[in-house]
């Protein structure tokens, strides 16, 4: 189990942090977990989460992977972007309140320009979802965002 606070690993705050904990990580992969709690930003009236939130859970796990790597290397946690997903499949239409979910993200590609691909699996009791996430973490993300706001560029 990793004891670093999630708020120090993810560029998210408050209720937008959906995962509960980093269980383990290494240079190639991460394992995270959460218990579905009612009353969150994305919950249905019955407290469940729609299956499509699984993509965000996977993306936050990948972001936590980047945050863990940065922290381990003494670097700042930087902003990253989910560019898209391929082949999202889920055997349920939602994750019930109280469900304990585990997410595994495995890095399958990462280049020097910040592009990456992760194979992700989300599992729980009778639950399985999978997707391939395409992500981008630009070098010096703050400069990247500042450039994108300049209307003359």
Extract the tokens encoding 117.
């691909």
* pLDDT (mean) for 31-49: 96
Task: Give pLDDT, residue 127.
Answer: 98
In this prediction the pTM is: 0.89
How much of the chain, in percent, has pLDDT values that exceed 70?
90
Hey, is 11 helix, strand or coil? coil
How far apart are the C-alpha atoms of 85 and 118, rounded to whole Å?
10
How far apart are the C-alpha atoms of 15 and 67, rounded to whole Å?
18
pLDDT > 60? residue 144: no
* pLDDT (mean) for 32-57: 96
* pLDDT (mean) for 48-68: 96
pLDDT > 80? residue 143: no
pLDDT > 80? residue 140: no
Q: How would DSSP label each residue in 73-109?
A: TT------EEEEEEEEEESSSEE-TT-EEEEEEEEEE
In this predicted model, what pLDDT tens digit does every residue of 12-26 receive, in sequence order? 777 889 999 999 999
**Whether domain 6-149 has CATH 3.40.50.2300:** no
Task: Give pLDDT, residue 77.
Answer: 86
DSSP3 helix / strand / coil % (the chain, rounded to 5): 25, 35, 40
Domain boundaries, the chain: 6-149
DSSP letter assigned to residue 41: T
* pLDDT (mean) for 45-49: 97
Task: Give pLDDT, residue 68.
Answer: 94
In this predicted model, what pLDDT tens digit does every residue of 116-133 receive, in sequence order? 999 999 999 999 999 999
């Amino acid at each position: 189990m990793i004891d670093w606070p999630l708020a120090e690993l993810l560029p998210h705050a408050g209720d937008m942090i959906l995962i509960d904990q980093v269980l383990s990580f290494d240079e190639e992969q991460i394992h995270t977990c959460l218990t579905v709690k009612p009353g969150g930003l994305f919950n249905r009236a019955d407290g469940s989460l729609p299956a499509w939130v699984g993509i965000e859970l996977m993306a936050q796990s990948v972001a936590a992977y980047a945050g863990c790597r940065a922290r381990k290397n003494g670097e700042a946690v930087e902003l990253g972007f989910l560019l898209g997903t391929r082949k999202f499949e889920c055997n349920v239409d939602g994750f019930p309140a109280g469900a304990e979910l585990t997410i595994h993200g495995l890095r399958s590609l990462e280049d020097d320009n910040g592009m990456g691909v992760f194979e992700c699996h989300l599992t729980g009791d009778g639950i399985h979802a999978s997707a391939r996430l395409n992500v981008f973490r630009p070098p010096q993300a703050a400069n990247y965002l500042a450039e994108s706001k300049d209307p003359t560029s």
